[in-house]
Structure 1
Amino acid sequence: MNVSALLTSAGINIGMCGLLLCFYSILRKQRGLVNVYFGGRLLAQENIMLPDAFCFEMLLPSPSWILKAWKSTEDDVLATAGLDAVVFLRLLVFSIRIFSIAAVICLFLVLPLNYYGQEMVHRHIPSESLDVFTIGNVKEGSKWLWAHCLALYIITFSACILLYFEYQKIAELRLAHFTGSPANPSHFTVLVRSIPRSTEESFSDAVKNFFMNYHASSYLAHQMIYRTGKVQRLMNNAEKIYKKLVYATPSCLYQECRPMRVRCGLCGGTSSSFNLYSNELQLAERHPGLDRLDSLKEKECAAAFVFFKTRYAAVVASQVLQSSNPMLWVTDLAPEPHDVYWSNLWLPYGQLWLRRITNLLASIVFMFLFLLPVTFVQGLSQLDKLQQMFPFLKSILNKTFVSQVVTGYLPSVILLISLYTVPPTMMIFSTVEGCTSRSARKVSTCCKVLYFMIWNVFFVNVLSGSVISQLDVISKPKEIPTLLAKAVPRQATFFITYVLTSGWVSMCSEIMQVFAVVYSLFMRFVLRRTDDPNWIISFPYHTEVPRVLLFGLLGFTCSILAPLILPFLLVYFLLGYVVYRNQILNVYRRKYETGGQYWPIMHNTMIFSLVLMQIVAIGVFGMKESTVASGFTLILVMLTLLFNEYCRQRFRPIFNGYAAQDLIEMDRNDEQCGRMEDIHRRVLSAYCQPNVCEGEDLKPEVGETSQHLQDNLVHPTVGGFPMSSIQGAATWLSLLITLQERNATK
């Protein structure tokens, strides 16, 4: 690819970005799209200043949203979107800082040395090949390779210093978030799984007896987890109604309870064919044998939420091995009540390791299947091979503009479209894996998407574009630096176009919210329905964090090899800082958060990017016969790994758990202020498993009592089924038919 093809790709992307940003600044002023572009603020019940009547200003683009997003403070983001949003924006700030330093060093020091590395006659710059701007143009044994080694040291030390201060700041924010937030029920709750089955007692009794025996001083209560599902929920409700009707005496049915006669239009019965009785609560009170506890015990799983009197007791119980068999009485801190992924709680704990292995194999298979579009993309970037495979395209590809579009724009577009299938697939894998919280499922998906993108976008593109056929070389670890040193500079031009397409344009499409706009217009004008506020989604960390980290890896790896990528990356991070801040403050809602758990992933990826950059540099210096530079770079690798180990020892434990000092101080403050009893009441009512039984709410088993259920809620029901439920009406009708047949036979 030459400079003119790069400029063509840049021009297309700049034009699309400008057009999309102008459209956004106009659409955000329209009242009909306020739920799309200000959904998060509407849920927070904030006032949104929009014109009441139509005016000409509503059709003019304006940069006011950029100024508002730029002026917002970190405290505003923390109050609106939580700690995870702050961590994500600090990743962008770190990227802007480090790549600003790298751009200054590499553009003014490394790039001229690359350009004049060979004694050659340079042509007009637009017709120059981009290869002359890479390190591949430096001749072997050149003394100027010391400049590349110096730039490598400056970038590495700057990145490590910035990473250290970011890790320290985010660790402080996490501690402040934990100690300064109101009492959270999850801090007093432990999720217990793999409860041993016994023929002498139920799971609930086993939990109570175990924790009353071994945690008597701190045990507060427990709440069992039940198998849920639409089919089973329908069967359980039907069984409950049947028991109530069977045990009801005829005198009660026909004398005390006034019947309501209905006609069944399906079977043509008379008006007295069926009787509906509405006095179910009195029937249940007069016949204690109809206790709903029996039906619920049949649905109990080998898992429960156990509540403790203090935070410290809950943390100790979650970290201590409860049994000599590690596969029994497995304990973990419970997720927040609104963060619980109930569908995975009742999965047998013994299946989880098998599910993880299956997911790993499925992810590997999916990664290899994705080689097909990547290989096709690499074929488009090499016109000579493409013309040999498809001779009939030779006349079309010989045209200058067509060849520039095919090599400079089309490969990145095809790869970008193919990558849209990755996050949903990885989300399914994380769900099957058995994550017990929605935030943990997103973190797991984030890691899977990150590994996938680093492998397929970077390594597969590098290897398939150069020496993918030399598998024997890949099998030799000593040859990997040399292999990457040959391959990465050749693919640097593709990575530049990938930043333009996948970075700039995808950022503008993010702020446009194309799918949300189409969905809102379809619901309003086609289905004639108003927008549902619950449809507003949370920020997609599982897609955006891997994207930003991938661009950081490309920037580090290509910084001294192909410095031309740095200005395009810097524009991407600056644009992303404004766009993401605007989206976090206005568009997305905060459903749950991890408390900054994304930062260790970000830190480790940045360290991996630095080490990869250094390994590639060792291979390049070895190819260029500069053994001294290779030796100094090897020392740099060791220093980087030592820095990472220090950060792991210093900061990582803060993200893995909580300090006893903080826990005990918080418990003492609550006890001295008299808040502990109120906290206990809120903890006992926090975890309510949905869809266990319609119209019923579960209470945890407290102390020595065994009160499991509350009275029926005041929703209008028939036999425990909502009147608006079609399934409930059908089940009620079938039960009435069965009852009528029983009475007829008697």
Structure 2
Amino acid sequence: MEFSALMTSAGINVGLCALFLCLYSILRKQPTNVYVYFGRRIAQEHYRETECYTLDRLVPSPSWILKAWGNTENDILHCAGLDSVVFLRFLVFSIRIFSIATIVCLFGVLPANYFGRDMLHKQIQLESVEVFSIANVKEGSRWLWVHCLALYIITFSSCALLYQEYKNISRMRLAYIRRSPHNLSHFTVLLRSIPNSGGEMLRDTIRNFFRNYHGPSYLSHQLIYRTGKVQKLMSSAEKVYRKFVQLRLPSSGLNTRQRLYRCGLCGGDKTTPFRFHQNEVDLNEKNIDCTIADIFQAEKDCIAAFVFFKTRYAAAIVSQLMQSPNPTLWVTDQAPEPHDVYWSNLSISYNWLWFRRVLMLVTSVAFMFVFLLPVTFVQSLTQLTQMKKMFPFFRGILKMPMVTKVVTGYLPSVILLLFFYTVPPVMMLLSTIEGSISRSDRKKSACHKILYFTLWNVFFVNVLSGSLLTQLNAITRPKDLASQLAEAIPKQATFFITYVLTSGWVGLCSEIMQIFALVYNFVRKYVFQLNDDPQLVPTFPYHTEIPKVLFFGLLGFTCSILAPLILPFLLVYFCLGYAVYLNQLLNVYVCKYEMGGTLWPLMHNTTVFSMVLTQIIAIAVFGIKLSKFSAGFTILLVIGTLLFNEYCRQRFSSIFTSLSVQDLIEMDREDELSGRMEDIHEELLSGYYKYFPDKDSQKSDKCNGENSDSTIAVNPFASNFSQVIKPIRSESL
């Protein structure tokens, strides 16, 4: 690809970015779009934009950037939670490390690449982009020491910054745990695979088991049922309750009497309100769907139970230990927070979870290989000679210089991006079928799948397919295949630069524009004439944004010494991304559930993987370029990086996977001394069923692109008529 084609792609994307940012700065000031661009602030702070008309509303301005940068880390932690702080800190880490890499590589590595071979250089716009990569350095050149030294500087800087971030985020996670004294999940254990004890009722079986083996610490439990007779009982009970509540209202009789008088011509009479409701409800045993016997029979439909303990320490011990010699019975896990429970998956049998996970793993791998087709097609577009062979009828059009620049420089990344839009919904669906019991675990699982998918299909497959398309004749010469593949890796950086421009720059601008939400808001208001709904506020899509940021970090590391021309574009992406994501987290997205910063180990491990991959590629390139000393010193760098990662894993990783005994016991003692423990115990009995998903929460999930909980088994916790079935759902000491 010529440098002019790259600049053409950059010009198109810069124009789109400027257009989107100008439109956003205007649209965010319009009162009709306040729920699109200030959803979180309306839902949590009851923020309202002034609706008076001013000329400033029609003039674009960068004031939103200044407002976003004016917030401190404590403000972000209070508004958006710890996960948002961790995500933004990784962006800051990326800005720091790639600022160092840009300075080192542009002023050291880039001149070494450009003058690495004796040749007559053309004007810059007519040069091939490959002359700026390590492919232009001749074999045995002394300039390869510059690349090795730059790699050492980048690696040491990355390790130092990573260690500092790991230490700070670990400290923040410990402080987050200590600042959550009323976290109900710390007192709660999810119990599944409950054995059938013959004639004994299930509620008695659970109560006797935990009183026998955890008597001093056991508090109570709540059963969860499938849809069936209990659901019918709950519906009938709620209906009867609402009828009698209406009878108590002073205006109930008047409204009913007036309604009867108005329809008197249709045969209505002057029956008193009480008799009217009595005849309508008909509380005879013949018309009631469920009896008390049905309630006990419905315990066969119990799928799980929440077991509550008096202290955090006791719940942590129970959740970590096997409760019986048979590991498939009395299975206990730490329960999610009430608003984090994914109720639909509680009905999945524990014995089938392994099969679901294996099946979804196979499906994910199959989907990754199916995606090879569009990736190979996209790579064919970057090779002009291959395009002329594949599409001979386009040869006349492809001879036009401007068309060639657009097709080879801009079109491939756009097509790949369009295909990639199908990946997040598919991975979220697969993560749901896996059986995650919490929304946060489901999102983390989808995040891992999308990251692996991106690394394989967008990086490795693009490199391999691009090299094979350009070197098809190398198959007949196996001894040259390895060297030609190694040289093709830096050459593919030209495609990655255009991908950063399209998916990175324009993707960030479309994110802040909220195009889909804007169209949905317009259709909702002006087509269906519906009012604004404050409940339709989405959560931040960590499962799509974190893999994207990590992938761009991998591109920055792997191309730093091989094709440093990509570094300025990546640095602009991370700086713009910090401003955009900070604005979105403060104004648009709401924090519905918290993962406690547990995604940071994924960010750390992916960054270390990127550094090691860069070093391995560098060793191969140094070997091809006949620089044995550079290759030998780089091997030492690989060993040092792996040792650094192992030290961080031993030092910090357990903080993100488990809770310390010291913290749990100290929190329990503080609550007991302050008298808060009794209040927490009372809140446990109602903490989970009051978060059962209703229609509003389902709408919010659909708006955010997540699956709703409409297929959940049953809500066993009725809010109004709960006292009727309290002996079934709760056993208290």
Q: Name the SS of the counterpart of 1:223 in structure 2.
A: strand
Q: Any residues of structure 2 matched to 1:558-569 within 5 Å, and which?
A: 558-569=559-570
Question: Which residue in the other structure is 2:4 paired with?
Answer: 4
Pair 1:279–1:525, CA change in 2 (3 A):
closer
Cα distance per residue 1:226-267 (max 9 Å; x no partner): 114xx87765668989999xxxxxxxxxxxxxx9999xxxxx
Q: Distance in 2 between matches of 1:287 and 1:484?
A: 72
Q: Distance in 1 between matches of 2:470 and 2:403?
A: 29
Cα distance per residue 1:655-711 (max 9 Å; x no partner): 011111111111001101111111100112111156436955697999xx945379x
1:35 is the counterpart of 2:56: no
Cα distance per residue 1:528-557 (max 9 Å; x no partner): 001221111000000000000000000000
Give the conservation status (yes or no) of the 8 Å contact 1:293–1:708: no
Q: Distance in 2 between matches of 1:111 and 1:269?
A: 93
Give the conservation status (yes or no) of the 8 Å contact 2:223–2:716: no
Given residue 139 of structure 2, which amino acid in structure 1 is its aligned partner?
Answer: E
**How big is the shift at 1:182?**
3.4
Question: Which residue in the other structure is 1:415 paired with?
Answer: 416
1:680 is the counterpart of 2:681: yes
Q: Distance in 2 between matches of 1:687 and 1:485?
A: 56
Pair 1:549–1:405, CA change in 2 (3 A):
same
Give the conservation status (yes or no) of the 8 Å contact 2:240–2:281: no
Question: Which residue in the other structure is 1:143 paired with?
Answer: 142
Q: Distance in 1 between matches of 2:358 and 2:289?
A: 51
Q: Any residues of structure 2 matched to 1:227-626 within 5 Å, and which?
A: 227-228=226-227, 277=279, 290=292, 293-294=295-296, 296-301=298-303, 303-467=304-468, 485-626=486-627
Question: Which residue in the other structure is 1:708 paired with?
Answer: 729
Pair 1:470–1:106, CA change in 2 (3 A):
closer
Q: Name the SS of the counterpart of 1:651 in structure 2.
A: helix
Cα distance per residue 1:82-131 (max 9 Å; x no partner): 00000000010000000000000000000000000100000011000000
Given residue 411 of structure 1, which amino acid in structure 2 is its aligned partner?
Answer: P
Give the conservation status (yes or no) of the 8 Å contact 2:386–2:469: no
Pair 1:208–1:142, CA change in 2 (3 A):
same
Pair 1:637–1:484, CA change in 2 (3 A):
farther
Q: Distance in 1 between matches of 2:415 and 2:430?
A: 24
Q: Distance in 1 between matches of 2:315 and 2:724?
A: 17
Q: Distance in 2 between matches of 1:74 and 1:481?
A: 49
Q: Distance in 1 between matches of 2:658 and 2:481?
A: 38
Give the conservation status (yes or no) of the 8 Å contact 2:68–2:579: yes
Give the conservation status (yes or no) of the 8 Å contact 1:700–1:708: no
Q: Distance in 1 between matches of 2:112 and 2:191?
A: 62
Q: Name the SS of the counterpart of 1:331 in structure 2.
A: strand
**How big is the shift at 1:206?**
2.1
Q: Distance in 2 between matches of 1:211 and 1:278?
A: 45
**How big is the shift at 1:217?**
0.9
Q: Distance in 1 between matches of 2:290 and 2:18?
A: 72
Question: Which residue in the other structure is 2:96 paired with?
Answer: 97
Q: Distance in 1 between matches of 2:528 and 2:486?
A: 57
Pair 1:484–1:219, CA change in 2 (3 A):
farther
Q: Name the SS of the counterpart of 1:533 in structure 2.
A: coil
Q: Name the SS of the counterpart of 1:393 in structure 2.
A: helix
Range with greater deviation from structure 2 (275-284 or 584-593): 275-284
Pair 1:114–1:398, CA change in 2 (3 A):
same
Q: Distance in 1 between matches of 2:49 and 2:635?
A: 58
Q: Distance in 2 between matches of 1:89 and 1:153?
A: 26
**How big is the shift at 1:365?**
1.1
Pair 1:480–1:234, CA change in 2 (3 A):
farther
Q: Which has the higher helix share?
A: 2
Question: Which residue in the other structure is 1:20 paired with?
Answer: 20
Question: Which residue in the other structure is 1:654 paired with?
Answer: 655
Given residue 544 of structure 2, which amino acid in structure 1 is its aligned partner?
Answer: T
Pair 1:104–1:269, CA change in 2 (3 A):
same
| Identical amino acids, percent of aligned pairs | 59
Q: Distance in 1 between matches of 2:384 and 2:289?
A: 84
Range with greater deviation from structure 2 (461-470 or 233-242): 233-242
Give the conservation status (yes or no) of the 8 Å contact 2:181–2:667: no
Q: Name the SS of the counterpart of 1:338 in structure 2.
A: helix
Given residue 692 of structure 1, which amino acid in structure 2 is its aligned partner?
Answer: N
Q: Distance in 2 between matches of 1:433 and 1:74?
A: 35
Given residue 167 of structure 2, which amino acid in structure 1 is its aligned partner?
Answer: Q
Q: Distance in 2 between matches of 1:400 and 1:470?
A: 25
Q: Name the SS of the counterpart of 2:564 in structure 1.
A: coil
Q: Any residues of structure 2 matched to 1:176-255 within 5 Å, and which?
A: 176-228=175-227
Pair 1:698–1:112, CA change in 2 (3 A):
farther
**How big is the shift at 1:200?**
2.5
Normalising by the residue count of structure 2, what TM-score does the alignment of the two structures yield? Answer: 0.87
Normalising by the residue count of structure 1, what TM-score does the alignment of the two structures yield? Answer: 0.86
Give the conservation status (yes or no) of the 8 Å contact 1:485–1:617: no
Question: Which residue in the other structure is 2:696 paired with?
Answer: none
Q: Distance in 2 between matches of 1:592 and 1:650?
A: 27
Q: Distance in 2 between matches of 1:629 and 1:360?
A: 40
Unaligned runs of 5+ in 2: 242-255, 261-265, 694-713
Cα distance per residue 1:641-666 (max 9 Å; x no partner): 11111111100000011111111111
Question: Which residue in the other structure is 2:60 paired with?
Answer: 61
State the aligned residue count.
680
**How big is the shift at 1:467?**
3.0
Given residue 657 of structure 1, which amino acid in structure 2 is its aligned partner?
Answer: S
Q: Distance in 2 between matches of 1:680 and 1:280?
A: 39
Question: Which residue in the other structure is 1:163 paired with?
Answer: 162
Given residue 452 of structure 2, which amino acid in structure 1 is its aligned partner?
Answer: Y
Q: Distance in 2 between matches of 1:276 and 1:698?
A: 19
**How big is the shift at 1:593?**
1.2
Pair 1:299–1:698, CA change in 2 (3 A):
farther
**How big is the shift at 1:470?**
9.9
Give the conservation status (yes or no) of the 8 Å contact 2:342–2:437: yes
Q: Distance in 1 between matches of 2:83 and 2:584?
A: 14
Computed over aligned residues only, the root mean square deviation of the Cα atoms, in angstroms, reads 3.2
Question: Which residue in the other structure is 1:255 paired with?
Answer: none
Question: Which residue in the other structure is 1:740 paired with?
Answer: none
Cα distance per residue 1:372-430 (max 9 Å; x no partner): 11111001000111101211101101101000000100000001111111000000000
Give the conservation status (yes or no) of the 8 Å contact 1:701–1:707: no
Q: Distance in 2 between matches of 1:242 and 1:531?
A: 30
Q: Distance in 2 between matches of 1:616 and 1:524?
A: 54
Given residue 639 of structure 2, which amino acid in structure 1 is its aligned partner?
Answer: M
Given residue 536 of structure 1, which amino acid in structure 2 is its aligned partner?
Answer: V
